[in-house]
Structure 1
Amino acid sequence: MKLPHLIANLMICAPAMAGQTWITNVKLISPEKLDRIESGSVLIDNDRIVRVERGSGGKTPAGATRVDGKGYYLTPGLIDSHVHLFAVPGMSFEQADHMQTMAKEYFAQMPRSYLYYGYTTVIDLAAGSREFIDRVKAMPRHPDIYDCGPPLVFANGYPSSYTPPAYRFEVFSNFIYDPAQADKIPARYKPEDYTPAKGVARAKKDGAICVKTHYEHGFGAQRNLPVMSPAVYGEVRAAATKDGLTLVTHGNSFEAQTFAVNGGVDVLAHGMWHWGTLNNSPELPDEIKQLLDKVVERNIGYQPTMQVLYGLRAYVDPEYLNTPVLSKLLPPTMLAWLKTPEGNWFKEEVAEEGETDETVRKNMESPLRRQRQVVAYLASKNANFLFATDTPSSPTYGNIPGLNGYLEMQDLRSAGLSLAQLFKAATINNARAFHLENDLGSIEPGKVANLVLMKESPLQDVRAYDTVDTVWVRGKPMARESLAVGQ
């Protein structure tokens, strides 16, 4: 590294910015003023924005540290509202426990990988371990983290069904008791302690800002899982309203999203790639359009999570693990292991026995087509899109923190979102949906100083999201290259 470059990096990464910081010579892009993309400056006092000036740069305030933005584009920090921090992409929980050194190396890098692509805030929709979340928050460089606390699951339903019955109710301890399954629930769990209201209250007590529920009959070997009734869901809705929590529901089918919309959901946690009996329709059916019109009318937050499917398809993409940036986002030992036969273990779950890679790709095209059609329709109606990746959606190495967000951006753009819709989805829309708009989502005085400096404008090309120069989290700056593995 050349000495001037080194000195510049040391200056921009220096933690000695106690007090005020003056970021100047930037073009301001904030969702509440997309009609005014102009040069300006931002004054930060510790962790808050205290002044925003548009037009001439003006003088550096006395005593403030001046940061020259080089004419680049300053945006609010990006928000990914659907992550799972406790999971290791490409590993089962058993493998992560067996290869603890590799897992620890991954977790040490994971929060930096989100920051590498400008995600200064993430929301964990199923934070099963408060201790783990607190450990990540204690790391020197990490995004702001919010969560839904332990997911509120229906007894023996998804996703608890994938945990052995012997300890299922210990792992998924925040569940809703189902009297019809009394013989399948250990006697020590009393119905009066596991009502919808008490489940929501447990999430609230745990510090959650939302509550995560599910409507999922299952897939693969499990296709007849129990789901809650409309009456039970109504109790969850009432409790979430009472406790001031955003109600999020997992559901990727027409049936599931109909159930959630009719029940008053705030946020749909997936796109719709299962249309049930309408799967073979080449065009978007009128029945689905009518449901999506309700999503728009009610301003329901919609998380397309297109990388769920593309992340699975990575196992039949021979070049995915050779993506150059992966060496900056994953520890070298882990990246090398993922390229071994052992590291490709999950491919057996993606491909049926005897299927070729080409067959798998072909079979995935139909659900991807359906998903794109739904997203395109919602985009044409200017729906309330929320940027979310579901990272990792399963034990797939196709959902790497940071990169997964950048790929989701490209997926959404290709599916029909405008660059302005995409930008709002990753900033103010997410902030509002999760009641964080007083602190996040725009560049305005009084808000938390979570900012991203990009070399190119995200309103001109989606590839701008890969031109991050510097990120600020609560007023603390980090040069992008300082966030890569080994730095």
Structure 2
Amino acid sequence: MKSLYLALSLLVCAHASAGPQTWITNVKLVSPEKLDRIESGSVLIEDQRIIRVERGAAKAPKGALTVDGKGGYLTPGLIDSHVHLLAVPGMSFEQADHMKAMAAEYFTQMPRSFLYYGYTTVIDLAAGSREFIDMVKASPLHPDVYDCGAPLVFANGYPSSYAPPETRFTTFSNFIYDPAQADKIPSRFKPEDYTPAKGVARVKADGAICVKTHFEHGFGNQRNLPVMSPAVYAEVRAAASKDGLVLVTHGNSFEAQTFAVNGGVDVLAHGMWHWGALNKSPQVPDEIKLLLDRIAERRIGYQPTMQVLYGLRAYVDPDYLNNPALPKLLPKSMLAWLKTPEGNWFKQEVTEDDTDEAARQGMEEPLRRQRQVVAYLAKKDANFVFGTDTPSSPTYGNIPGLNGYLEMRNLHLAGMSLAQIFKAATINNARTFKLDADLGTIEAGKVANLVLMKTSPLADIAAYDSVQTVWIRGKQTARENLAAR
């Protein structure tokens, strides 16, 4: 009898402590695990979580706030699993530091811009500043933020090679010591402190969910950068498995993706636009098909990141900065500055003094190869995980929120179906990054990150620009309230 009284008292206490409820009704439920059941229904939210999902007619619970979805399409919140929150599109880090007021305005709006397009969760793959990540999480309206901690870089390799030698090992402090480069590493850094296992342990201790590595020989005026060996990568793989971290590897070439797949990668952080000696092949070569088959069969997470190249091409697209979405996503002063000669500083690096038309044509071949790889993997129903690399470089062609919408459009044009894109941005991302206990579907027990769209994402890619309302952990916000002020 005592146990019965205890159970009843706990139930009463639980009910008394429950927060207000929200009943979202008159919506069509679009959840990736039930794409065969797109039907009218309702969702009940309490204490930031979904506690009930009803398909068909159902009465609103007594006392719940009722939200009439007016026949719209309710989906799980979208996930962008490849962002860089600390970077300002169109600015170098030095410019952002010099124009502090403008950068601060951008950072205030940036989380809202992701939400504007329904991205309720983002994963920062190179969170170099825990203080900054915490600042984003403390902003009034923001997506849920997860990260890979500080990137685990190979000594003097990409991307640390872009930092001056005198500051490189403090800017990129989570590096792997290479004995072959002992004369190029300051003596205060001891080899035993910078092993793969120690680097992964630092990421784990920082509260990350993944560890980011690189296989990149370089580009531009850096084309012979050191990369880790298979043996070193195997140590990273073992340490990541031991610490329960998802292993993500940057690699956009046939060589890099072969290396990572052979080493047991979990997520490939880019599409394959460099085929090396096979670049001139008009179709996907058999050697590459064999690798792509392995990627599909092993369910390796694949982020095509097509907006990396399209984001660079924005500098030779005269209409890009006139996109009507931009005033809703960027502070007025910043958008005006980007249209000035000073704000176009990065164009010279993109075009390398070529004409706009020559630069456009030069990007077409890598894009052609990238599209062909996406189309091949789409036919194999590979494990696409949606990520944008926002921003991929100091380009203004990667604006938060809009960059995701443009990525989706380009993926669809490349051959991904609407269902594949929807799954990539919801359930695939959640499962691959081990967040599916909370995210990715509309189910009881999941976090109440939800998006109400006017049209179905399974009917038209433009649905992702028809967002009407966003719920973040049960908190409702109309899209128009997320626009830049």
Matched residue of 2:59: which SS? coil
Matched residue of 2:80: which SS? strand
Q: For the residues of structure 1 that align with 2:23 and 2:145, how far apart are their CA atoms?
A: 26
Q: For the residues of structure 2 that align with 1:343 and 1:373, how far apart are their CA atoms?
A: 34
Q: For the residues of structure 2 that align with 1:387 and 1:70, how far apart are their CA atoms?
A: 29
In structure 2, the residue matched to 1:40 is 41
Q: For the residues of structure 1 that align with 2:477 and 2:236, how far apart are their CA atoms?
A: 41
In structure 2, the residue matched to 1:6 is none
In structure 2, the residue matched to 1:412 is 411
Q: What is the CA deviation profile of residues 179-210 of structure 1, one whole-angstrom value per residue up to 9, with x for unaligned ones?
A: 00001111111000000001000000000000
- Gaps (5+ residues) in structure 1? 1-16
In structure 2, the residue matched to 1:300 is 300
1:471-486 map, 5 Å: 471-486=470-485
Matched residue of 1:211: which SS? strand
Matched residue of 2:388: which SS? coil
In structure 1, the residue matched to 2:8 is none
Normalised TM-score (structure 1): 0.96
Over the aligned positions, Cα root-mean-square deviation in angstroms equals: 0.7
Matched residue of 1:427: which SS? helix
Matched residue of 1:182: which SS? helix
In structure 2, the residue matched to 1:373 is 372
In structure 2, the residue matched to 1:14 is none
- Gaps (5+ residues) in structure 2? 1-17
Matched residue of 2:257: which SS? helix
Q: For the residues of structure 1 that align with 2:281 and 2:255, how far apart are their CA atoms?
A: 16
In structure 2, the residue matched to 1:27 is 28
Q: By how many angstroms is 1:59 displaced?
A: 1.3
In structure 2, the residue matched to 1:146 is 146
Q: By how many angstroms is 1:18 displaced?
A: 4.7
Q: By how many angstroms is 1:404 displaced?
A: 0.2
Q: For the residues of structure 1 that align with 2:281 and 2:415, how far apart are their CA atoms?
A: 20
1:74-473 map, 5 Å: 74-353=74-353, 355-473=354-472
| Identity over aligned pairs, percent | 80
Residue 397 of structure 2 aligns to which amino acid in structure 1? G
Residue 177 of structure 1 aligns to which amino acid in structure 2? Y
Q: For the residues of structure 2 that align with 1:470 and 1:361, how far apart are their CA atoms?
A: 37
Q: For the residues of structure 2 that align with 1:175 and 1:472, how far apart are their CA atoms?
A: 39
Matched residue of 1:23: which SS? strand
Normalised TM-score (structure 2): 0.96
Residue 271 of structure 1 aligns to which amino acid in structure 2? G
Moved over 2 A (4+): none
Q: For the residues of structure 2 that align with 1:284 and 1:477, how far apart are their CA atoms?
A: 46
Residue 393 of structure 1 aligns to which amino acid in structure 2? S
Residue 232 of structure 1 aligns to which amino acid in structure 2? V
Residue 215 of structure 1 aligns to which amino acid in structure 2? F
Q: For the residues of structure 1 that align with 2:281 and 2:267, how far apart are their CA atoms?
A: 26
Q: What is the CA deviation profile of residues 82-134 of structure 1, one whole-angstrom value per residue up to 9, with x for unaligned ones?
A: 00000000000000000000000000000000000000000000000000000
Q: For the residues of structure 2 that align with 1:256 and 1:27, how far apart are their CA atoms?
A: 43
Matched residue of 1:261: which SS? helix
Matched residue of 2:437: which SS? coil
- Count of matched residue positions in the alignment of Structure 1 and Structure 2: 468
Q: For the residues of structure 2 that align with 1:168 and 1:53, how far apart are their CA atoms?
A: 55
Q: By how many angstroms is 1:306 displaced?
A: 0.2
Q: For the residues of structure 1 that align with 2:40 and 2:297, how far apart are their CA atoms?
A: 36
Q: For the residues of structure 2 that align with 1:36 and 1:80, how far apart are their CA atoms?
A: 25
Residue 473 of structure 1 aligns to which amino acid in structure 2? I
Q: What is the CA deviation profile of residues 215-253 of structure 1, one whole-angstrom value per residue up to 9, with x for unaligned ones?
A: 000000000000000000000000000000000000000
Q: By how many angstroms is 1:424 displaced?
A: 0.2
Residue 73 of structure 2 aligns to which amino acid in structure 1? Y
Q: For the residues of structure 1 that align with 2:130 and 2:401, how far apart are their CA atoms?
A: 22
